[in-house]
Amino acid sequence: MISLSTEQAAVQVVNYDPIRGSSYGVTRGDTLYSIAFRAGMDYRELATRNHIRAPYTIYPGQIIKLSSAPAKVIRHPVQSSSKNPKKTIAKPIADQYSRNQDVNKKVTSSSASPGISWRWPTTGRVILGFSDAQKGNKGLDIDGNRGDSVVAAAPGKVVYAGSALRGYGKLIIIKHNDEYLSAYAHNDELLVKEQQWVKAGQLIARKGDSGTNGVKLHFEIRRRGEAINPLLKLPKRG
């Protein structure tokens, strides 16, 4: 049994690689928070989709649905030109549903993703850069002093604020659209709440050393659950 609580800081989560596919099998150390983070989702949406109630207890071997249910077969009445009684035949609409979904995805990705204007989440020197290695750093580590301002790198909705993801300390996750999340880790104080909408540049936390060995901000940008190099999105510093 795996119990989930916002106040629980010692959850054993060690894998933050992206999750692909329509479902996921829970393994030891997983939480609903970590699964949602890796899938690029809001954990509340994941809980609703899988009928999981607070405190969001999940079990190794449990199958978590990541996407919506497949298309249904709907029966359509067909008119006959003869005097015979009306007949009803089954026509699958999976193809039409799939085409509609593809169109919706294209609209979302083309209209929302390029429109994000990113900004640096804090001042300070980058002391550790991004790495594509399996166990490499999945973001930027930025130094500074305890209490330095941490701001939202882009507008969005706070989908997580707590300390249940091992290795991140006091963490904030902001969802910017259906593709992008940003994460702000090792804070000393969290100044926003879950489900709160924030603007780019809005103060969301104070820099600290929670879950690590020195004062710094660990900053990540994830696209569909996969960490990307934030330097590819952030403006160049002078």
Report how far residue 120's alpha carbon sits from residue 211's, in angstroms, rounded to the nearest whole number.
Answer: 22
Cα 181 to Cα 93, 106, 167, 168, 178: the distances in Å are 33, 19, 18, 15, 9
Q: Report pLDDT for 192.
A: 97
Question: Which has the minimum average pLDDT: 3-17, 181-195, 207-221?
Answer: 3-17
Q: Report pLDDT for 48.
A: 93
Copy the structure tokens of residue 126.
């980058």
Do 152 and 201 meet the contact criterion of CB atoms below 8 Å apart?
A: yes
> Torsion-angle region of residue 51: left (phi > 0), alpha (psi -120 to 50) or beta?
left
Report how far residue 13's alpha carbon sits from residue 167's, in angstroms, rounded to the nearest whole number.
Answer: 8
> Torsion-angle region of residue 54: left (phi > 0), alpha (psi -120 to 50) or beta?
beta
Tens-digit pLDDT profile for residues 45-85: 999 999 999 889 999 999 999 986 553 444 445 454 445 54
Tens-digit pLDDT profile for residues 84-104: 545 444 444 444 434 444 434
Cα 237 to Cα 126, 150, 180: the distances in Å are 11, 17, 22
Closest CA to 221 of 180, 187, 192: 180
Q: Report pLDDT for 83.
A: 53
Do 132 and 167 meet the contact criterion of CB atoms below 8 Å apart?
A: no
Our CA angle for 102, 106, 109, nearest 5°, is 135
Tell me how long the chain is.
238
The continuous run of DSSP H or E covering 100 comes out as: helix 94-112
Collapse the DSSP code of 142 into the 3-class scheme (helix H, G, I; strand E, B; otherwise coil) and give the result.
strand
Copy the structure tokens of residue 201.
């540049």
